Structure 1
Amino acid sequence: MELKVLYFGMIAEATGCKEEIILLRSGTTIDQLENLLKDKYESLQHLSFKVAVDKEITANDTLLNPNNEIALLPPFSGG
């Protein structure tokens, strides 16, 4: 399945892009996607970030679907 992954802030700087299409097998979880991206972009291994699925931060064991929009979000502070 193809998923659109969006990168923001320092995550976009670390990957060198703001978005890309990632090919994954069906049944992939957020945790597995994170590991795949950390293998692809070594600089992500040292960064803290959250993963949002369809604009909501969800658990790492959440299964991804072909229509999901994924966003990697850097730490943010409230104000």
Structure 2
Amino acid sequence: MELKVLYFGMIAEVTGCNEEIILLEPNSNVDQLENLLKDKYQNLQHLSFKVAIDKEISANDTLLNPNNEIALLPPFSGG
């Protein structure tokens, strides 16, 4: 399945883009997506980030579907 993945902050710097289409097997989850991206972009292995699905931080076992809005978010602080 095709997934559109958005990158922000230092994640975008590491990947060299703000978004891209990633191909994953149907019924893949967040953990599988993270592993694929860390293999593709070795420097992601050294960064802390969260995966948001439809604007909510998601657990690693969350199943993905092509209609999801997927974003990799670097650490951030609020006030």
Report the TM-score when normalising by structure 1.
0.98
- Give me the whole-angstrom Cα distance separating, in 2, the residues matched to 1:54 and 1:3: 12
Aligned to 1:15: 15
Partner in structure 1 of residue 56 of structure 2: 56
Aligned equivalents of 1:54, 1:4: Cα separation in 2: 12
Cross-structure match for 1:74 = 74
Q: Deviation of residue 69 (structure 1)?
A: 1.3
- Distance apart, 1:52 and its partner CA: 0.2
Where structure 2 has 5 or more consecutive residues not aligned to the other structure, the ranges are none
What is the identity, as a one-letter code, of the residue corresponding to 1:56? E
User: What is aligned with 2:47?
Assistant: 47
Structure 1 runs (4+) deviating above 2 angstroms are: none
Q: Deviations over 1:27-78 (max 9, x none)?
A: 1010010000000000100000000001110111000011111100000001
